[in-house]
Every structure is written in structure tokens, then in C-alpha cells.
Amino acid sequence: MPQPREHLGVSLRAVPRGGGRAGVSVPLEPPPGSLSGAGPAPARPGRPLLRAGEAPAPAAMELLWAAGGLLLALSLLAFVLYCCYVRYIHAKYDHIPGAPRESFLFGHLPIIWRMVRNQEFTPDLFLQWAEKYGPVVRVNAFHRISVLVVSPEGVKEFLMSPQHPKDPTVYGTLFSLFGERFLGNGLVTVCNHEHWRKQRRIMDPAFSRSYLIGLMETFNEKAEELMEKLQEKADGKTEFSMLSMMSRVTMDIIGKVAFGLELNALSDDQTPLPNAVTKVMEGLNKARVPFIRFMPGKWKLVKEVRESVRLLRRVAKECIDRRREAIQNGKEATMDILTQILKGAALEETRDEENILDNFITFFVAGHETSANQMTFTVMALGQHPEILERAQAEVDEVLGAKRDVDYEDLGKLTYLSQVLKESLRLYPPVSGTLRRLEKEDVISGIKIPANTTVFLNTYVMGRMEKFFKDPLTFDPERFSKDAPKPYYCYFPFSLGPRSCIGQVFAQMEVKVVMAKLLQRFEFQLVPGQSFKLREAGTLRPLDGVICKLKPRNSARGCQA
């Protein structure tokens, strides 16, 4: 949900007119001979009002009090006018159903702030509101109103049509993080349609089918490195965070295939880049706490987050410079994401170096966190449903046998695994939703939404509503079987329409390769006592990281090299 801008209050004291102490009238000029016995200083041009150590002259005091009084009066007037404006906005939107406001000015924010402070999961609040007040739900924050739309008709209207841009007031908050430029105008956050279209057209070839097939080798190679690391832990006793392992492998993959970098996050957990990304994601989450930058207890965190953003941009710059140098020296550029970013920049009339860095960071962050979360949630769901795990393993055994590498053709044969992955995205979508700006008044599900409203579309919420999915909290991959009816605009983990995820196919290939190898090689067990709750940290992730124990699978012992 959009966060309001911070308002800095100015505290002013009421003061009597004409002097420093109430009831004492101070003459404008002291009588001759008073104090030093000297008369009033003759007015000299250019004489400062006060000299160091000199008490303010009564006239100056009078002026200061008058200015203070005026400021106070103006502030009060501004506040009253602002309250009238808020009242007017309420009147404009109050026909839209919504939970009672907790406060006239803050609206629903105190509820959300409380949840963030208590580390509660705010999407569940939106789910409750959607069930109770939907399909169009009002959310107030100062004079800004957002609406949560949970009707398939609304999702279709807002996501499929290019006429509803991403909302700059919300995506603008990702432009920088605690004052450091972060995602800037990169492909995820850019709201201007023309600017987005140009960038997207240039990036599309890097995600074409033929290019993606060429990535199978890297997916296999990096997934194999993960298996080796897991093998070291597979004694049935060692407990480890699956999220941490998955994050490292996806980071190594995106580093290699997108930017030609060997990050070695899997073999070295002290490499600075993974830690910087974790810090930045934590910063994204914490940035929602109002005034956090001004809380002394949080200065250390804010400083670390800013340093991490700077580190990411510095690494991006070094990598880009190296690639440019290689191209200048006649080396043939690989057709990867970085080459496409540089090509796009070369087509611009004025080279925007900062925008190149924006896209580097965008692909780096968007391209690994999400897939890692999806895989970790899938391990969690499989660990909780042994019968589904068994069926998925049986399919992998049938398709791969003891073969080491997963071929592109195998991916299409792993149909049950696809269903499991889709169901995992329904209950645990790493990106819970997206936001659009409604620029002209519209009627959705019979409810009039005024122009210039932020519209929030949420796949987490819709994916958990009985109205759209029977028995929604049950993990059931059969919902996505070939014969089951397709969900109609109520399931969009990669968003839909023109601004949908460019990396969708990339991610699902990568995830299938890693998951297929994991299922082929290991039996896994979830360590009891963890909460399996979700947390928002830029993306939706498992709160406790999904702590697992592994054992090698008997049937996979003869895995071919």
C-alpha cells in the first residue's frame, strides 16, 4: 500500500504581542540616559540588527514575536484548510466500502503501522477486508485513498490495458532507498509508458525462447553446484535454511547468465554482494515504518542499507565498464541481459548512465529473490504434504531416471512438478501484487472509482479467497491439472498484460531444473518447531527460512556423471 509523505510538525508557542513578558509593555526606544546613559543609537546604514553578545533591541524583539505569531496563525490556517480537504476527499470516496477509519487524518494507517511494528503479515489484513468489504475496498491514508480491487473484471481491466500506468506515487518510493538511488527508472519501476516501451522492446530478445534454451547449461551447472553443497549437509542431522541455499544458487545463476559474473555465493557466504542484497531487501521492508530515518535506534540499519545500495551500484558500474572495455577491444559480446541493457543505452540520444545502473540493479534483484522464494516455499509445501512429494518424486524418477542433467525437452514432461510450482505460487506468491493509477473516473463491479486513484491488485489475496478457489488454504496441485478450469483473472503471480514479468519463462525453467535435481537426489524433512509464517521483506518470503534436514535418496545413488 502506498505510504504517505512525512509531515514535519513545527511547534510554535503562543506569545503576547509587543514584548518578551506578558503584561510588560516595552517602549520602542529607551529614554535618554537609561542603562548606559547613552541615547538611542543613531540609525546607521548597514548596521547589523544584533551584534554578538548584544541583547536584541526591543524593536527587533517586537518583529520576531510578530513573525512568530504570523507563522502560527498561518500554520493553523493551513492545518484547518488541510482538514477541510481531507473531509472533502472522505466525502468523495466514502461510498466505497471499507473498514472503519481509526483516525480522521491517518485513516487506516495506524492499523497497518501496528502490524508492521509487531512483525505481523499485512496481506492477511487485506484478505480479511477483501472478504468482508470486497470486491472494491477503500483504504485511507491522510488525503490519499487507494482501492483494493478483487474482482476478475477489475483485474482484467487494470492489467490488460496499457491505459492504466503503474502508479508513480508508489513506484516512486523505490526510486531511491533512504536517499540513495536504488531502482531508479529501471524496467520494474518506470511509470512513463513510452520510456517503459522502449526499454522493454530492447530487453525482450534476451528472453526469447532460443536464448533461454541456451541457458539450460548454466542452470544445470549451477544447480549441480547446489547439489554438491547439499550433499555435504545430507547426513540426516544437519539443519540449515533452505532459503539461504536457494538465494545463493539463484544469485549465482543471475550473476552468470545476466552479467557474466562468477559470484560464487554458493561456496562463499561472506561475499559482499549477497549480504548487500539481503540488507537492501530488509531496508525495503523497514522503509515502510514512518520516520524510521529519524529514529536513533535505527541509524545503524539505515547506514548499512545505504552502504549496501552504494555497493550494488558500484559493482554494477565496474561490471559495465569491464564489458564496454571488452567490446571496444573487439571481443564479441555475449547475448545476455547486460548486452541488451548496453544496446538500449546506445540507442538513446543522451546516454543516461544512471538508468543503465538502474536496470542492472533491477534485473539483479528481480531476477533472484523471487525464484529463490518460490523454490523455498515449494520445499515447505512438499515437506508438509508427503503424498504430493512422493508423486512429484515419482515423476522426476520417470522423466530423468539417473541422468545428471535436465534437458530442455525434459521440462515439458515434468507436468506434475509444473502443477506443484503453480500451486505454490497461488498460496505463496513472492510478489503479492501490483499497483495502477486510475486517471479517469471508472465503474468497477458497479462501484464508481474517482479519477486519480491508486488501484491495488493482489494475487495473494485473490488466491486465498473461497470465491475463486474452493477450500483455498489446502495445497492441491490438481487445481492446475490439464482438465481443471483455468483461473479467470484471479491468479497472476507474474502479473498480466503488458507489464507482466519479463523473466517468467526464465524463472520457471530455472526453478524446474533446481527442483527436479533436488527431488531426484534427496529426501527432505522440515525441522519441527518453526512457524512456517510468511513475512514481507520487499518480496514475500518464509519467516523462518524453512529449516530442513536432508538424506540422500536411495534411488538416486547411481546418478550418472
Residues 112-122: b if buried by 16+ CB within 10 A, e if exposed = bbeebeeeebb
Draw the binding track, 237-256, toward ligand HEM (x: CB under 6 A; -: no contact): --------------------
Size of the site for ligand HEM (CB under 6 A): 22
DSSP reduced 3-state for 304: helix
Buried b (16+ CB within 10 A) or exposed e, 377-392: bbbbbbbebeebbebb
Of 221, 223, 245, 216, the C-alpha closest to 519 is 223
Annotated binding-site residues for heme read 501
User: Helix, strand or coil for residue 296?
Assistant: helix
Distance of CA 415 to the CA centre of its chain: 31
When asked if residue 200 is in the footprint of ligand HEM (CB under 6 A), the reply is yes
- Determine which residue in the list 187, 341, 449, 518 makes contact with ligand HEM, applying CB under 6 A: 187
Binds ligand HEM by CB under 6 A, chosen from 308, 374, 419, 424: 374
Shortest reach from residue 8's CB to ligand HEM, in Å: 30
**Residue 259 in the binding site for ligand HEM (CB under 6 A):** no
Residue bearing cell 482438465: 483
Nearer to ligand HEM, 434 or 453 (CB): 434
Contact range with ligand HEM by CB under 6 A, out of 131-139, 291-299, 501-509, 524-532: 501-509
Integer CA distances (angstroms), 92 to 149, 190, 317, in order: 18, 29, 48
Distances from the Cα of 465 to the Cα of 132, 150, 226, 473, 491, angstroms: 11, 9, 36, 9, 11
Q: Which of residues 352-371 bind ligand HEM (CB under 6 A)?
A: 362-363, 366-367, 370-371
Q: Which three cell numbers stand for residue 165?
A: 500506468
Minimum Å distance from CB 406 to ligand HEM? 17
Q: Which stretch of DSSP H or E encloses residue 203? A: helix 193-203
> Whose CA is closest to 510, among 433, 406, 384?
406
Nearer to ligand HEM, 140 or 250 (CB): 250
Residue span binding ligand HEM (CB under 6 A) among the ranges 46-54, 69-77, 301-309, 495-503: 495-503
Q: Which of these, 284, 279, 208, 215, lies nearest to 250 by C-alpha position?
A: 215
Per CB under 6 A, the list member of 360, 428, 489, 494 interacting with ligand HEM is 494
Q: Does 493 bind ligand HEM (CB under 6 A)?
A: yes
Whole-number minimum distance, CB 187 to ligand HEM, in Å? 4
How far apart CA 374 and CA 542 sit, in angstroms, is 10
DSSP-assigned letter for residue 331: P
Site string for ligand HEM, 422-441 (x = CB under 6 A): --------xx--x-------
Sign of torsion, CA 216 222 227 228? positive
Provide, rounded to whole angstroms, the least separation between the CB of residue 365 and ligand HEM. 9
Give min distance, CB of 337 to ligand HEM, in A. 7
Residue number, nearest CB to ligand HEM: 503
Annotated binding site: 501
CB closer to ligand HEM out of 106 and 175 = 175
The smaller minimum CB distance to ligand HEM, of residues 107 and 367, is found at 367
Stretch of residues binding ligand HEM (CB under 6 A), selected from 36-44, 318-326, 491-499, 528-536: 491-499
Residues pairing with 371 in the sheet: none
Name which position in 344, 503, 542, 545 contacts ligand HEM (CB under 6 A). Answer: 503
* Distance, CA of 25 to CA of 18 (rounded, Å): 7
Residue 134 binds to ligand HEM (criterion: CB under 6 A): no
Which positions lie near ligand HEM, rule CB under 6 A? Answer: 187-188, 200, 362-363, 366-367, 370-371, 374, 430-431, 434, 493-495, 499, 501-503, 506-507
